[in-house]
């Protein structure tokens, strides 16, 4: 059901189209490609990572995936080859990086996709296993146990593992690192006989109702998987290719010449030129005229409607003008008097020491200075 192979230089593998293909990149093999630099008596356990790509391209083919959890674990190439690539050799370049010594080693993997006589299998079922990661499910013994459990409840003559997909590739979230939670994996298998009654129990109205309420459906054959695999039966997908109606429509090819009076009608050569003068007037002249009218109105209000000082004085009572004039004269006299005051500065604002020699500066006024003429600070009311 799966093709497992170890890494060798320019290795040729022959997977079948539509059948799961697994290729393990073992770190133990690539350790021999790098010189051992550790001290005497120590075991070399260098971190090694892999880069895989189609020869001449930066990435792998669309059907081929690659996973490696840590630099201390093996890498795995897996996927389901397509029928379109049958007979065409696919060369995958494998580059190993030693993260301690920064050395590299390159090998080629030649994938020769063969056609499968019994493919595609008409009945396909996809299971979602919650307690597995994709690299755990790709192990030969784990996948063999799962196919054995499926064969026990389905009883087919031919059973193939078609594809394995991580739940993260289907939009799933990365699980929390608690309680050894797994990301989950989708496993698609195909058989040549109709689905068993156990698998059909998921389509019952009672189980559909329980799934809509996020409850576990009642499946009689779940106990045959429960010991090792926790299957989410609400996410199982059953596909019967024998009942699918083909939507392909045959294309009727003609002579390639359009009949007279077809859909395409080119424009006439006698088109008249368009006059844009009226559009110009509407776009520029009308807004300019409105702006000019508004400017004239504003100019009339600002310049022609001013009352002036004489008109204001004529409308003001004489007694009010006399009071206003007296206030202005008094204010001017007070300001002139404040400018002519000659009052000595307080001693607190004078320097005590000479700024250059540092000697004590005598006060500007003698002790007999009459300071009675200095104004005192008025108490604020």
Note the pLDDT of residue 6: 41
Q: State the pTM of this model.
A: 0.58
C-alpha of 184 from chain center: 23
DSSP state of 247: -
Model pLDDT for residues 194-221, shown as the tens digit of each residue = 888 888 888 888 989 998 888 888 888 8
Helices (H) and strands (E) in the chain, counts: 10, 11
Non-local CB neighbours of 94 within 8 Å, separated by 6+ positions:
7, 25, 50, 51, 52, 106, 107, 108, 109
Q: Which residue has the tokens 């009226």?
A: 278
pLDDT at residue 2 in the model: 40
Alpha helices in the chain (DSSP H): 27-31, 134-137, 140-154, 197-200, 205-212, 223-226, 277-280, 286-299, 308-315, 318-339
Pairing of strands 123-129, 104-112: unpaired
CB 235 within 8 A of CB 217: no
The pLDDT, as a whole number, for residue 52 is: 93
User: 3-state DSSP call for residue 124?
Assistant: strand
User: pLDDT per residue over 4-62, tens digit each?
Assistant: 444 446 788 888 888 899 999 988 888 777 776 655 555 668 889 999 999 989 889 98
* pLDDT above 60 for 101: yes
Predicted confidence at residue 187, as pLDDT, reads: 92
- pLDDT recorded at residue 44: 66
Structural domains of the chain, ranges and CATH numbers in brackets: 6-113 (2.60.40.10), 123-243 (no CATH)
Is the separation of the CB atoms in 217 and 234 below 8 Å?
yes
| pLDDT, tens digit (0-9, with 9 covering 90-100), for 59-71 | 899 899 999 989 9
Residue 124 token pair: 């396909």
Neighbours of 205 (CB within 10 A): 7
Q: Of 236, 259, 240, which Cα lies nearest the Cα of 190?
A: 240
Distance in angstroms (rounded) separating the CA atoms of residues 40 and 29: 21
* pLDDT value of position 288: 92
Alpha-carbon distance of 279 to 87, in angstroms, equals 68
Q: How many CA atoms lie within 13 A of 2 on its CB side?
A: 27
Q: Which residue has the higher pLDDT, 346 or 308?
A: 308
Closest by CA to 127, choosing from 98, 154, 107, is 154
Which of the two residues, 72 and 378, has the higher pLDDT score? 72
Query: Of all helices (H) and strands (E), which one includes residue 204?
Result: none
DSSP secondary structure letter of residue 338:
H
Q: Is residue 146 classed exposed, middle or buried when 0-12, 13-18 and 19+ CB atoms within 10 A define those classes?
A: buried
Q: In the chain, at which residue ranges do the beta strands (DSSP E only) sit?
A: 11-13, 21-25, 48-54, 64-67, 75-79, 89-98, 104-112, 123-129, 159-166, 185-191, 237-240
Structure confidence by residue, pLDDT tens digits, 302-338: 887 776 777 777 778 888 888 888 998 999 888 888 8
Condensed to tens digits (0 to 9), the pLDDT of residues 142-187 reads 999 999 999 988 888 888 898 999 988 888 888 877 777 888 999 9
Cβ–Cβ < 8 Å for 18, 120:
yes
The Cα 135–Cα 76 span in angstroms is 7
């Amino acid at each position: 059901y799966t093709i497992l192979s170890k890494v060798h230089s320019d290795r040729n593998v022959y997977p079948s189209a539509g059948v799961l293909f697994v290729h393990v990149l073992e770190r133990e093999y690539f350790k021999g490609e790098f010189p051992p630099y550790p001290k005497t008596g120590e075991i070399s356990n260098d971190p090694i990572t892999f880069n895989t790509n189609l020869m001449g391209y930066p990435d792998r083919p669309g059907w081929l995936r690659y996973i490696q959890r840590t630099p201390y674990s093996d890498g795995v190439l897996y996927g389901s080859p397509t029928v379109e690539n049958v007979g065409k050799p696919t060369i995958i370049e494998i580059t190993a990086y030693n993260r301690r010594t920064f050395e590299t080693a390159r090998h080629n993997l030649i994938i020769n996709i063969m056609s499968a006589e019994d493919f595609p299998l008409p009945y396909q079922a996809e299971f979602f296993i919650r307690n597995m990661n994709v690299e755990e499910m790709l192990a030969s013994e784990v996948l063999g146990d799962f196919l054995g459990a499926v064969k026990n409840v389905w009883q087919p003559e031919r059973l193939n593992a078609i594809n394995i997909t991580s739940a993260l590739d289907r939009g799933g979230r990365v699980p929390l690192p608690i309680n050894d939670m797994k990301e989950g994996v989708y496993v698609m298998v195909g058989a040549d006989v109709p689905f068993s009654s156990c698998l059909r129990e998921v389509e019952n109205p009672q189980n559909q109702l329980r799934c809509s309420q996020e409850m576990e459906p009642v499946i009689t054959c779940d106990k045959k998987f429960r010991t090792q695999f926790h299957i989410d039966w609400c996410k199982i997908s059953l596909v019967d290719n024998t009942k699918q109606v083909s939507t392909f429509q045959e294309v009727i090819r003609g002579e390639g010449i359009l009949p007279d009076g077809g859909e395409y009608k080119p424009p006439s050569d006698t088109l008249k030129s368009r006059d844009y003068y009226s559009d110009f007037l509407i776009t520029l002249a009308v807004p300019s005229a409105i702006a000019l009218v508004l400017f004239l109105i504003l100019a009339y209000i600002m310049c022609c409607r001013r009352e002036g000082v004489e008109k204001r004085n004529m409308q003001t009572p004489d007694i009010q003008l006399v009071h206003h004039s007296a206030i202005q004269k008094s204010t001017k006299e007070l300001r002139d008097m404040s400018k002519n005051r000659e009052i000595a500065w307080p001693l607190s604002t004078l320097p005590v020491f000479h700024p250059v020699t540092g000697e004590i500066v005598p006060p500007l006024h003698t002790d007999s200075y009459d300071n009675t003429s200095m104004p005192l600070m008025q108490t604020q009311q």
